[in-house]
């Protein structure tokens, strides 16, 4: 009687299973996208702020007329308040998305007309994907940040939820700085120096105060400017100072 060596069969089976697996997030075949912990975490984060939001077909007609994005729960994600026309919106700053998106529900609510674009496939955190073939150019104003008018192109996603979000391409192009520790969001084109200087109140006599070491003061200013120039190279030099 002979005993069959099953180790080769097991190794072959493992290799076949490995070849059939592929993780879209890690770009590896060690596990499948459906098994990926990272993708599951991103999906859980996205679904968290949708809890308690009723689909539009469950809303009364009166509620639907008053529908706007600020009813969404964006507490887990950076967001800014804004206006489109005369209507209030809460815009999500999605650091996990490349492009800008707006839902068909919000598009219709704002009475905006989209234009047909080249079909584009986008992927969600739960590994689902959808084809978008419409976009719309929107002018909007941010509130409690720079309070200035911005413009962007948004791809239209067929959804009953009133969502609107800005992706990383737009955020980088407009030098948006997000502090995930304090929650502060700044459009750096409108910022010259950090807010810590806003609490400094100088009197006219301070400029002639012999107790102030001018060289030490200049050096501290240079350190401060150099620090923020590294973060935002678009900052220029301060007249009268030489940046080393």
Tokens encoding 137: 């150019």
C-alpha–C-alpha distance, residues 98 and 136, integer Å: 16
How much is the pLDDT for 176?
86
Mean pLDDT by 10 residues, the chain (244 residues): 54 55 75 75 54 40 37 64 89 89 93 93 79 94 75 92 90 85 70 43 54 71 69 51 45
Please tell me the pTM assigned to this model: 0.49
How much is the pLDDT for 134?
95
C-alpha–C-alpha distance, residues 244 and 163, integer Å: 46
Backbone angles phi, psi at 44, to 5 degrees: -65, -40
How much is the pLDDT for 74?
53
Q: Which residues contact 203 (CB under 8 A, 6 or more apart)?
A: none
Select from 60, 68, 115 the least CA-distant residue to 88.
Answer: 68
Report whether 172 contacts 180 (CB < 8 A): no
Region of 111 on the Ramachandran plot (φ > 0 left; ψ -120 to 50 alpha; else beta): left
116: number of CA atoms within 13 Å, CB side? 0
Q: What does the H/E/C string look like for the chain?
A: CCCCCCHHHHHHHHHHHHHHCCECCCCECCCCHHHCHHHHHHHHHHHHCCCCCCCHHHCCHHHHHCCCHHHCCCCCCCEEEEEECCEEEEEEECCCCCCCEEEHHHHHHCCCCCEEEEEEEEECCCCCEEEEEEEEEEEEEEECCCCCEEEEEEEEECCCCCCEEECHHHHHHCCEEECCCCCCEEEHHHCCCCHHHHHCCCCHHHHHCCCCCHHHHHHHHHHHHHHHHHHCCCCCCCCCCCCC
How much is the pLDDT for 6?
54
How much is the pLDDT for 62?
41
How much is the pLDDT for 220?
75
């Amino acid at each position: 009687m002979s005993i069959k060596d099953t180790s080769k069969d097991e190794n072959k089976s493992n290799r076949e299973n490995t070849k059939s697996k592929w993780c879209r997030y890690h770009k590896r075949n060690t596990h499948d996208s459906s098994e990926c912990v990272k993708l599951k975490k991103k999906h859980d984060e996205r679904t968290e702020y949708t809890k308690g939001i009723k689909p539009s077909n469950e809303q009364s007609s009166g509620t639907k007329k008053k529908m706007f994005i600020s009813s969404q729960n964006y507490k887990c994600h950076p967001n800014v308040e804004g206006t489109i026309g005369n209507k209030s919106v809460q815009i999500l700053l999605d650091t996990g998305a490349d492009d800008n998106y707006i839902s068909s529900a919000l598009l219709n609510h704002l009475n905006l007309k989209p234009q047909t674009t080249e079909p584009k496939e986008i992927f969600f955190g739960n590994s689902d994907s959808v084809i978008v073939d419409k976009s719309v150019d929107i002018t909007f104003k941010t509130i409690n940040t720079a309070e200035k008018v911005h413009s962007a192109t948004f791809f239209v996603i067929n959804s009953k939820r009133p969502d609107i979000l800005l992706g990383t391409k737009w955020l980088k192009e407009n030098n948006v700085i997000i502090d995930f520790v304090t929650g502060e969001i700044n459009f750096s084109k409108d910022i010259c120096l950090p807010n810590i200087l806003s609490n400094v109140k100088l009197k006219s006599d301070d400029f002639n105060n012999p107790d102030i070491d001018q060289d030490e003061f200049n050096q501290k200013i240079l350190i401060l400017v150099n620090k923020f120039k590294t973060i935002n190279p678009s900052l220029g030099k301060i007249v009268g100072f030489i940046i080393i």
